[in-house]
Structure 1
Amino acid sequence: LERKVITAANSAGMRVLGPNIFGIYSSKVSLNATFGPGDVKPGNAAIITQSGALGIAMIGKTSSEGIGLSTIVSLGNKGDMDETDILDYLANDDSTKVIMAYIEGITNGDKLVPYLKEVTRKKPVIVIKSGRSKRGALAAASHTGSLAGSDEVFDAIMRQCGVLRAENLDEAFNWMKFLGKNPTPKSERGVIITNGGGIGVMATDACEKYDIPLLDEPELLKKTFSEIMPSFGSTRNPIDITGQASSTDYQRALMKALESDSIDFVMSLYCQTSDFDRERYSEMLRLVYNEFKTREKPIGFSLVGGEEVERCVDELGREGIPIFKGVYELVSCFGALVRYRRTISAEPSRVEDMDIGTERIERIIDNALEDGRDFLLSYECKEVLSECGLPTARGKIVTGIREAVEVADEIGYPVVMKVVSRDVLHKSDAGGVALDLSGREEVMDAYQLIMRNVKDHNPHAKIEGIEVSEMIPQGLETIVGGRRDPSFGPIIMFGLGGIYVEIMKDVSFRALPIDRKEAVSLMKEIRSYPLLLGVRGEKSKDTDALIDVMLKVGALLRKVNRISDIEINPLFVYERGNGVKVVDIRIMIRKEREVEG
């Protein structure tokens, strides 16, 4: 029935929202067609939600938080319209400054990603997604599949798109309120002004957590604040005007920051003192906030204290002033603001068209499918990489001991031997690999041992032969993989490779396509990134060659849609100028009907 209704509506030129929604709200046309509260405050924040009950609750929360709304849209089952349709509208809606979306699941992520990249360059997008557990992770034959849990992929792709992902509803509302009330800073030169050293230190720690750089120019800060600073205060950032400061002293310090062209945002922290006067202090904060608002310089406040202080925070918060009871709440908001500034300041992506020999690759896949396989054999994988211009080990498949020795002599010792069998996907587990063979006798022994091991492991295994290839010099072991995510389509993964992949899980993801700048970002996200730069006297690694591999693997996945998974592990990375080398590769393929489905 749902499909019939949507089809009929679409054929008449209409779109359908829902079903299973609680309605919509628009301040622009004074429409409140929801089951929620009727006293919605008009404003510049928009909410998109999949959850009906939570959506209604969020309407009520905006009123208590002093947040005005431009739009509320309930998506429901997304039978026709989804997030992309609503984002497309809100991106060009002049009455909307900030967008918040509650998401439970994404089905058309490959369609959503380009929309998000476009929208976040115009206005902030805040997302809350439920389901941070790994239950949604799909089991797959490759490490890429097993590690690409739905939340890890979602989190990385949201960062890629410039989306601000909140940990919880309270944080999302804090960000929505704060970003809706503050302009984007001209730079990242910010200061903390406080009357208490303790909360100043807490805020400084939080700034490191949220990646907020603080202005660190002692002479400039001394010149700016020395006039209002007691002898026992500190003009270092955080600016500590001490607990002796009156509300007037505090106001003067904040105004000094406002008047300075070298300071672009201010975090104001206040600890309750014995002479705290709620009415006087509230009026001072109103005046300061309005001055900052007029001059378009971001400011936020955090007040820590007892009942009177919390009452002050509640009153000013309802008026729409960005004020919080906790230090971390305030710093978290500035973290979101700084990240948004980086998004809109970044250069747009410029994806290169990589030369891939798709015709030859498609024929290789045809042959594998005709053979009844959903994966490529090792020599087929090498042929695919060759068509992508990626460096692999020299080698040849042999079917006898004498031939194995001849090939090893031709390649040069040491060599590696690996079984080639459609029935053996994990060669090491079957005893089908022999490494660092340095002479003829070792090659002959290894040939017989591999054949025996594989037959013991799987008596019915069909063995096409044994691959003899050069022993590649050791390099830094990395992994480059890709797969077709059920939500976001083709994605790429990079991380620390080899045997450490499953243990360390030091990997990150991106939706394809990516450009060189995004590939660099992908590298920098892993914890072991310093290994690529060189540690303990080691020289830096050839990251340019590594980036080329990422871009070519990404292009391969995008251009050959019958490849479902690809995993290069390990990929040895050598010192700068010496390139990279593929040691092992696995490619999984899809049948035609799976692609069409």
Structure 2
Amino acid sequence: MLDRIDPPVREHAAGSLDPLFSPASIAVLGASADPLKIGGRPIKFLKAHGYGGTILPVNPRGGEVQGLPALRSVAELPLGVDHAVVALPASAVLEAAQACADRGVKAMTVFSAGFAEIGPEGAAMQARLSALARESGMRIIGPNCMGVMNFRIGMIASFAFMVDLGLPRLGRTALVSQSGAFGGQALVMARRRGLPLGAWVTTGNECDVEMADCLAHFARDDQTDVIMGYMEGCRSPDRLVHALALARERGKRVVMVKAGSSDVGRAAAQSHTGALAGNDRVFDSLFRQYGVHRADSIESFFDAAYAAGSGKRITEGRVGVFTVSGGVGVLMADVAEQEKLDMAPLPQPAQDELRAMLPLAAVRNPVDGTAQIWSDMELFRRFLRTMLREGRYEAVVFFLTAMPYSPPLQQPLAEIFADLRREFPDPALVLSMLAPQALQDELADHGYLLIEDASRAIRALSALRALSQPSPGPADLASLPHVPHFPALEAANEHAAKDVLARVGIPVPPERAVAGIDDACAAASELGYPVALKVLSQDIVHKSEAGGVALDIADEAGLRQAWAAMRESVARAAPRARIEGMLVAPMAPAGVEMILGVQRDPVFGPVVMVGMGGIYAELLDDVSLRIAPVDAEGAMSMVRGLKAFALLDGARGRPRADLDALVRAIVRLSVFAHRHADRIESIDINPFRVFEAGRGAAALDAVLLTRDPEDGGHA
């Protein structure tokens, strides 16, 4: 039976999820005497798993339900019940929810389907349920969910048949899933993989309680160290950011699967949950900012959470491998290299010591004891002890094949690995082997991670290293510069866009907008040759393709010739474009060309982008994103995250670029976008040229698209 604590009997804070997860009393509406029915399963599970609180079945027929006296209606409930479980038809849910609110019920789990997922009529009923939650303060999870479980107190408020298969080991990991089907599968997988869980919840249609609320609850929970999340979409970005910031602040490790990275996946997620999946890259950026590990498969999701639950840290990535199969050792080394883990060789004296014990062994790293090592278990002990003592690895994987199934080896192995764990408590130790369940359980109790597949074991350690790294966290709002607010925001062409950027504090070159060639020649004379000439038109975004750009014009004759040629080529390429004049600018010094931009994300609002210019952004997809606003530390993190950062940092004898100027521009652009989030659709500064260190930078071209905050359309 599970170790458990009695449900707390205390007042819950307003808006708290404690009544959902730690209730002192649970009412079951639609309670059934049949433990196979949806209304019967929660009562069966609560009784079977030792829930110590009060269970109150509600059934119109009254009498007795599974040995408990049943109430005929919600009106007979005592005032202030913590948690009501609703297993009623959708048509009866609203009336029941109102009755619960009237009796002061603090929280409700609604299993019932037939709401927003079926169409407009169901969506209208769900909206009324949401309004009731807001008005009454009663927290509602669901509808259309599989419920809530707190294994520590035996609180199984769910109808999931998977509970009948057995519960996972009790641990300090909580799992939150927007999908009930995935939540059910995850329950079975956690048990089969030995992943200890403390709590489990599926959020369903999220009429009130959202995934982000559950993440925040477990971030505050002192009995939770690791939070697993299966996410399909995000309804309230502010809540999600707050939850992830809270988890980071409290040192909780968060492992996430985010579905919807493909166009097809996003459409499916919207259809399934009614939530916007958003730009997948923005979620990637958000997760990196708050130290969330994003798993790319269900398998890696569980492995990463399992490794995180060990409580171990891998900061440098130093990993040792012991194997009794040379080939598998090579395979593990290959995976470690792919994951950028450090397979540092053992020190030479340690190699000599191991070779003296076993002359045919490979003793560098991976260390291959060969099959000979099984013939002498005392040698086995000394060999591994030497490797752990001298290697000083942050983690070690032991690949033992299926030999632990051999009866004569089982007791010695249990004793040897128990002793090693006591002597070396700090590193993460992973056993990759096939073994009887009893032996696996015994070694798991000693703090070993057990992952059968050797490659998965290495990848789990890579995830653990990622979760051990510091993350930037939220922007330091106090450090952000002041940026003016624009009561009206119009930028019909490049010159107007640059004027706005200049007022924001983003450097732009001195330039002149002119209507005629004589004015252009006067401007060029004032600015100094060589100059660039560009067409000004709100209808022409890609000026070069329309023949609307001429560079390195050396003198007045060249300028007059370029003017005439440009008017002719633009008229031919874009005959209906409105031409507002021309732009004359001095040629900028050499530097590194970047792209700065802002895009309005449908979930998170303005998102800032920085990328290397030219082929790097387009062909190599080399960009960094961050939700606005961004402080200087965050901006520098974005820049350093670019694949081609070395080009800015003085690689191969290049002059080092003015990184400070680039960072200042990113920060100011982000603050500007944040302040005008309701009116900016996108900003594109391309190129943004960064000169040598100390010489600044300049926006050489810019497009600013605004939107009407009232209707969401473009201005």
TM-score (norm 2): 0.73
1:40-439 equivalences in 2 (<5 Å): 40-41=167-168, 42-121=170-249, 122-134=251-263, 150-185=279-314, 188-215=317-344, 218-219=347-348, 221-222=350-351, 226=354, 229-246=357-374, 247-256=377-386, 262-271=392-401, 278-287=406-415, 290-291=418-419, 296-303=425-432, 310-312=434-436, 316=440, 320=444, 321-343=448-470, 350=476, 353-359=479-485, 361-363=486-488, 365=489, 368=490, 375-439=491-555
Pair 20,376 (structure 1): closer, same or farther in 2 beyond 3 Å: farther
Q: 1:23 aligns with which of 147, 154, 162?
A: 147
- In structure 2, the residue matched to 1:472 is 588
Pairwise CA distance, 1:596 = 12
Q: Distance in 2 between matches of 1:159 and 1:314?
A: 39
Letter in 2 for 1:560: H
Query: In terms of mean alpha carbon deviation, does 380-389 or 244-253 score higher?
Result: 244-253
Q: Secondary structure at the match of 1:474?
A: coil
Does 2:624 align with 1:508? yes
Q: Please give the alpha-carbon distance, in whole angstroms, between the structure 2 residues aligned to 1:318 and 1:167.
A: 31
Match of 2:469, SS? helix
1:11 maps to 135
- Flag the structure with more relative contact order, 1 or 2, with Cα contacts below 8 A and sequence separation at least 6: 1
Native 8 Å contact 1:109 1:489 kept in 2: no
- State how far apart, in whole Å, the 2-side matches of 1:220 and 1:149 are: 55
**Aligned residue identity for 1:74:** T
Range moving further from structure 2, 247-256 or 549-558: 247-256
Deviation at 1:396, TM superposition (A): 0.6
Pairwise CA distance, 1:450: 2.5
Work out the CA distance in 2 between the residues paired with 1:107 and 1:434: 47
Amino acid at match of 1:521: S
TM superposition shift of 1:244: 2.4
**Any conservation in 1 of the 2:218–2:224 contact (CA below 8 Å)?**
yes
Whether the 8 Å contact between 2:362 and 2:369 is mirrored in structure 1 is yes
1:302 deviation in Å?
Answer: 4.7
Distance 1:318 1:233 in 2: 29
Contact 2:172 2:198 in 1 (8 A): yes
The alignment status of 1:572 with 2:698, answered yes or no, reads no
Matched residues in 2 for 1:519 and 1:530: separation? 16
Secondary structure of residue in 2 paired with 1:43: strand
Residue 141 of structure 1 corresponds to: none
Deviations 1:106-142 (A, max 9, x none): 233344134213314522111112233245799xxxx
- Write the distance in 1 (CA, Å) between the matches of 2:192 and 2:572: 70
Deviation, 1:587, is: 1.3
| Counterparts in 2 of 1:279 and 1:106: CA distance versus 1, 3 Å | farther
Displacement of 1:430 after TM fit?
Answer: 2.4
For the residues of structure 2 that align with 1:166 and 1:322, how far apart are their CA atoms? Answer: 18
Given that residues 493 and 507 in structure 1 are in contact (C-alpha distance below 8 angstroms), is that contact kept between their aligned partners in structure 2?
Answer: yes
Q: Which runs of 5+ in 1 are unaligned?
A: 139-147, 304-308, 369-374
Distance in 2 (alpha carbons) for counterparts of 1:216 and 1:474: 45
Q: Give the SS at the match of 2:512.
A: strand
Task: Work out whether residues 688 and 700 of structure 2, in 8 Å CA contact, stay in contact via their aligned partners in 1.
Answer: yes
In 1, Cα distance between the equivalents of 2:371 and 2:478?
Answer: 57
Once the two structures are TM-superposed, the CA of residue 258 in structure 1 deviates from its matched residue by 5.0
Shift in alpha-carbon separation, 1:382–1:186, aligned structure 2, 3 A: closer
Name the structure 1 match of 2:51.
none
- Would you say the 8 A contact 1:565–1:587 is kept in 2? yes
Match of 1:2 among 126, 133, 149: 126
Q: In the alignment, is the contact (CA less than 8 A) between 2:405 and 2:436 conserved in 1?
A: no
Shift of 1:222: 4.5
* CA 473–281 in structure 1, closer or farther in 2 if over 3 Å, else same: farther
So what's the TM-score if we normalise by structure 1? Answer: 0.86
> What are the Cα deviations for residues 305-359 of structure 1, in whole angstroms up to 9, with x where unaligned?
xxxx635489627974522232210011111111111137x78864563334423
Structure 2 Cα separation of the partners of residues 174 and 100 of structure 1: 11
Note if 1:452 corresponds to 2:568: yes
Contact 2:397 2:430 (C-alpha < 8 Å) held by counterparts: yes
Residue 563, structure 1, aligned to residue 680, structure 2: yes
> Cα gap change, 1:384/1:592 in structure 2, threshold over 3 Å: closer, same or farther?
same
Q: CA deviation at 1:11?
A: 1.2
Contact 1:289/1:299 (CA < 8 Å) preserved in 2?
Answer: no
Q: Which runs of 5+ in 2 are unaligned?
A: 1-124, 268-276
**Residues 264 and 280 of structure 1: CA distance in aligned 2, closer, same or farther (over 3 Å):** farther
- AA at the equivalent of 2:484: T
How far 1:469 sits from its partner (Å)? 0.7
- CA 136–547 in structure 1, closer or farther in 2 if over 3 Å, else same: farther
2:709 alignment partner, one of 577, 592, 597: 592
Instruction: Specify the structure having the higher radius of gyration (Cα).
Output: 2
Contact 2:483 2:672 in 1 (8 A): no
Task: Give how far 1:189 is off.
Answer: 4.2
Distance (Å, rounded) in 2 between the aligned partners of 1:314 and 1:537? 61
> Any conservation in 2 of the 1:183–1:296 contact (CA below 8 Å)?
no
Opposite residue 266 of structure 1, the aligned amino acid is V
Distance 1:261 1:201, change over 3 A: closer
Letter paired with 2:141: L
**SS, match of residue 343 in structure 1:** coil
Higher mean displacement: 566-575 or 243-252: 243-252
Provide closer, same or farther for how the CA distance between residues 546 and 282 of structure 1 changes in structure 2, counting only shifts above 3 A: farther
Counterparts of 1:53 and 1:236 in 2: how far apart (Å)?
A: 47
Does residue 552 of structure 1 match 2:680?
no
Deviations 1:426-465 (A, max 9, x none): 2223222222111112211222232333333343432221
Residues 352 and 475 (structure 1), Cα distance of their counterparts in 2 relative to 1, 3 Å cut: farther
Tell me how far apart the structure 1 counterparts of residues 653 and 510 of structure 2 sit (CA, whole Å): 31
Instruction: Give percent identity, aligned residues only.
Output: 30
Please state whether the residue corresponding to 1:541 is helix, strand or coil: coil
Give the secondary structure class of the aligned counterpart of 2:608. strand
Q: Contact 2:318 / 2:343 at 8 angstroms: preserved in 1?
A: yes
Q: Is the 8 A contact 2:624 2:638 kept in 1?
A: yes
The residue identity in structure 2 corresponding to 1:520 is M
Is the 1:355–1:388 contact (alpha carbons within 8 Å) kept by the matching residues of 2? Answer: no
